[in-house]
Amino acid sequence: REYDGTAAGCQGFLLQLELYLATVHPAPSGCESVSALVSCLSGKALEWANAVWSEGDAALDHYAEFTRRFRAVFDHPAEGRAAGERLFHLRQGTRSAQDFALDFRTLAASAGWNDRSLIDHYRCILHEDVRRELACRDTTLTLDQLVDLSTLLDNLLATRGRPDRGLSVPSPSTSAPTPMELGGAELRVTGRGAIPCTICSRRGHTAGRCWGGSSGSRGSRQGTIVSPQVSRHQAHPEPPVAHMYVFITFPEFSPHSQHKALVDSGAAGNFIDRAFAHSLGIPIVPVDIPFPVHALDSRPLGSGLIREATAPLGMVTQEGHKERISLFLIDSPAFPVVLGLP
């Protein structure tokens, strides 16, 4: 291809030319290599070469010296900055992690930084949402592993889109202050992320304290434990809560059906409702060592132990991401699938 003197394309042009010259047999002389280079020039680059050629410069017979002068004229980094400085100021911004990682790797290849510096800098300049998800991940990852994980997390965040809203419950007309409720902690599966109540799908309480059943009364639900109240005033209903979802399919078991999965990247694993798994005919296998699962207030969730998981199965998200995944079985009819750590 022709090179017109654009600074950004200088290194790539010389690399391609040198790769081509390396395939020529017998190896071309210095003068022949310079002639090959000049024959690929246009625009300002050709004007410069024409001036050098007209002077009969001795560099015309020495490819290494000619390319040294060529680089001195045309090979200038963007904005006059070296690769290391450009890498230092690089940020992900609104780009995808995949596009950002390409720019990062390109600059890192010529910046001369060691691996530890590259890893620490890469973590710091990612988008805030991706940094937050990486905060609880393994800090011993290599740069390649870190880039792969950040790209996966970024894609997962992108699939969330605009969050769905929880059910909206009108507030009572009374102006009395909202009382506090003991133990009103968010439900979660061992890990950092919060999972809503498995009965009413809202956050702020566990299934054992759920008041949002069909009757709308805490005390009227059978099998419900009524928690103590700090105040005798009636509590205001909880405000609607945004949940993050992604639509998924299991091609091996429901190829034509999409299922709504709750995204909770802080949860310590991926989970599926037992009845839902059985309805799809997904094979179930015992885990090697049962382990506890509980709410944030330390109450057992369901039986309190994870004893079974699905056999590895294919999963496809709404944006076409495919992976093999195994999900732990829990009793969560409100959210048939919970996606946690990738």
Domain of 101, CATH number, reads 1.10.1200
Residue 278 near residue 269 (C-beta atoms within 8 A): no
Q: Of 50, 76, 102, which residue constitutes the final position of a domain?
A: 76
pLDDT for 289:
83
Asked, for residue 213, whether it belongs to a domain, the answer is: no
- Residues 28, 101: one domain? no
pLDDT for 192:
41
pLDDT for 163:
40
Number of folded domains in the chain?
Answer: 3
- Residues 68, 147: one domain? no
Give me the helices (H) in the chain, please: 10-23, 30-38, 43-54, 63-74, 83-89, 97-111, 115-124, 128-134, 143-160, 274-280
Asked, for residue 208, whether it belongs to a domain, the answer is: no
Q: Of 142, 160, 178, which residue constitutes the final position of a domain?
A: 160
Residue with tokens 């999963």: 315
What is the C-alpha separation between 338 and 315, in angstroms, rounded?
13
Distances (CA, A) of 318 to 97, 245, 256, 315: 19, 10, 13, 10
- Residues 292, 316: one domain? yes
- Residues 21, 95: one domain? no
Residues written for the chain: 342
Q: What is residue 98's three-state secondary structure? A: helix
Q: Of 28, 50, 76, which residue constitutes the final position of a domain?
A: 76
Per-residue model confidence as pLDDT tens for the chain (342 residues): 788 888 888 888 999 999 999 999 898 999 999 999 999 999 999 999 998 888 877 888 899 999 999 988 888 765 556 778 888 889 998 888 889 999 999 888 878 888 889 999 999 999 888 888 887 676 788 899 899 888 888 888 887 653 443 433 344 444 444 333 333 333 344 444 445 555 555 555 545 445 444 433 333 333 333 333 333 333 334 444 456 778 899 999 988 888 888 877 556 678 888 999 999 999 999 988 887 776 544 555 566 688 899 999 999 887 778 888 888 898 877 778 888 755
pLDDT for 132:
83
What is the C-alpha separation between 268 and 342, in angstroms, rounded?
10
Q: Residue 130: which of 157, 100, 159, 170 has the closest Cα?
A: 157
Asked, for residue 64, whether it belongs to a domain, the answer is: yes
| β 164-165/242-243 pair status | antiparallel
Q: Which domain holds residue 264?
A: 243-339
- Residues 87, 146: one domain? yes
Asked, for residue 325, whether it belongs to a domain, the answer is: yes
Asked, for residue 36, whether it belongs to a domain, the answer is: yes
Residue 204 near residue 238 (C-beta atoms within 8 A): yes
Q: Buried b / exposed e across 231-264, counting CB within 10 Å, b at 16+?
A: eeeebebbeebebbbbebbbeebeeeeebebbbb
pLDDT for 76:
76
Asked, for residue 142, whether it belongs to a domain, the answer is: yes
- Residues 107, 32: one domain? no
* Structure tokens, 185: 């902690």
pLDDT for 342:
55
What is the C-alpha separation between 172 and 286, in angstroms, rounded?
48
Backbone angles phi, psi at 265, to 5 degrees: -65, -10
3-class secondary structure per residue, 182-208: CCCCCECCCECCCECCCCCCCCCCCHH
Q: pTM of the predicted model, to two decimals?
A: 0.40
Asked, for residue 115, whether it belongs to a domain, the answer is: yes
- Residues 36, 115: one domain? no
* Structure tokens, 1: 């291809």
pLDDT for 172:
44
pLDDT for 37:
93
pLDDT for 230:
35
pLDDT for 57:
76
Maximum Cα interatomic distance, the chain, rounded to a whole number of Å: 100
- Residues 333, 299: one domain? yes
Distances (CA, A) of 195 to 143, 201, 267, 270: 31, 9, 8, 12
- Residues 260, 297: one domain? yes
